[in-house]
Structure 1
Amino acid sequence: MASVEHPTGPHGRLLTGVAWAALLLGLSLWGREIADGPGGTSAPTTGDVAAVGRPAGVRMPPAHDPLEPVRPVKPHRVEIPSIRVTAPVVPRGLDSTGAIDPPPHGMPYTVGWYGSGTRPGEAGVALLVGHVDTETKPAVFYRLSSARPGGKVRVTRADGSVAEFTIDDVQVFGRDRFDPRKVYGPRQDGRAELRLITCGGTFDRATRTYGANVVVSAYLTGAT
């Protein structure tokens, strides 16, 4: 674990080798950040649900060329209309376990962006994380597992530009089958891609952890 690297390269290329394992372990422990347990009585991420994948017959639009890197432009707001999410975005780093540090407990309706990595709209994979619930109520990504291929994700950047992504895959990864390369790596080289991640699966009250992670993948299909 001591050899964990931070993302490097012009597009924040993600970790390799031991660093992958560290990031994997950290994310698998992320459920411990969710205080004392689910806030909803029927959270859509409860249960070891099967992956949605990409159902047959869903026509996907062509990919838009990645946006030119602009510094220091960063994501400002994320919208997912199909699951009624509109939330501010704040940059986050890695915590002591090597996982992306989610927003603080006092910001359950805020999305965290891995600020040392790719900016949404640029070539590579931009990572957004959010809580599924608090002690008493649903949080920003409570409905994330209900997202479906074809749905839109709009990220407004600090300069007012909007990068529009189309969801092409929804997966639930249990701890025993979590593949960091599938989660963090590009699905297609050269594209601008997005991953939205939260806790999922069954909540274990003894360990105060969730048994899985919900991972929604999307790719850039428009920009204004």
Structure 2
Amino acid sequence: MSASNRPAGSGRLLTGVAWATLLLGLWLWGRGITDGSGASSAPTTGDIAAVGRPHGVLLPAAHAPIKGTAPERIEIPSIGVRAPVVARGLDKAGGIDPPPFAKSQTVGWYGSGTRPGAAGAALLVGHVDTETKPAVFYGLSAARPGAKVRVVRTDGSVAEFTIDDVQVFTRKRFDARKAYGPRKDGRAELRLITCGGTFDRASHEYNANVVVSAYLTGEKPSAGKSA
């Protein structure tokens, strides 16, 4: 949806070219035909730097994939995120339908893709801000490797992930395989995605996407399930 035909006050994340690039990349990646040129070294998302994977950060061993069930809530304590998750499908153009602008504090999960905890990369997207206030993933680029991400699932279990990478991909050098594809075969992973880079007030667009990668490192069974 372009800035010119959005409802007034509907927010500015995932609009115009930045969102179109994200959707097109997902569409192409899902069909196995993307051949991008790699991640960008763009330094900022708003006023916050993305850090990649710094040396010296000790990360825990990966947990084996678990039965994937639909996500209900996501928690990222280090950046103050506690938000509901809703499944989103594909629109008529073949792209994932983002969360409604009216629900800027809600995270969208690509429901036809990997479920959090199962092998592969589960994709979650959220708004960075609206025209008047921060949205659910406003602080996403401040996330750091080693931080925890908890996904509460519909069966009551909690899939616990550890962030291992934070990157900014510019729309001109967007690599859908690196943004969406698994980093290691057979591992259960998450991708948390929002808009980033520089916001151009003239065009009402961001010029990049922030992509946070995390992998499964633990599981908390539901109350009715033995450990």
TM range (shorter): 0.7 to 0.9
Partner residue of 2:41? none
Q: 1:144 to 1:50 in 2, by over 3 A?
A: closer
Partner residue of 2:46? 46
Runs of 4+ in 1 over 4 A off after TM superposition: none
TM-score scaled by structure 2?
0.77
Structure 1: gaps spanning 5 or more residues: 8-12, 25-43
Amino acid at match of 1:124: G
Partner residue of 1:82? 78
Partner residue of 2:213? 217
Amino acid at match of 1:210: Y
1:166 aligns with 2:165: no
Q: Are the counterparts in 2 of residues 89 and 112 from structure 1 also a CA contact under 8 Å?
A: yes
Aligned pair count? Answer: 188
Q: Given the alignment, which residue of 170, 192, 199 partners 2:195?
A: 199
* C-alpha distance in 2 between matches for 1:198 and 1:79: 16
Alignment of 1:17-96 (within 5 A): 17=33, 20=34, 45-46=45-46, 51-69=50-68, 73-96=69-92
Q: Are the counterparts in 2 of residues 45 and 142 from structure 1 also a CA contact under 8 Å?
A: no
Q: Are the counterparts in 2 of residues 58 and 150 from structure 1 also a CA contact under 8 Å?
A: yes
Q: 1:204 to 1:97 in 2, by over 3 A?
A: farther
Deviations 1:137-172 (A, max 9, x none): 000000000000000000000010000000000001
Amino acid at match of 1:60: L
Q: Are the counterparts in 1 of residues 49 and 141 from structure 2 also a CA contact under 8 Å?
A: no
Give me the CA root mean square deviation.
2.1
Aligned with 2:78: secondary structure?
helix
Matched-pair identity in %: 70
TM-score scaled by structure 1?
0.78
Partner residue of 1:16? 32
State the Cα distance separating 1:202 from its structure 2 match.
1.0
* C-alpha distance in 2 between matches for 1:189 and 1:88: 29
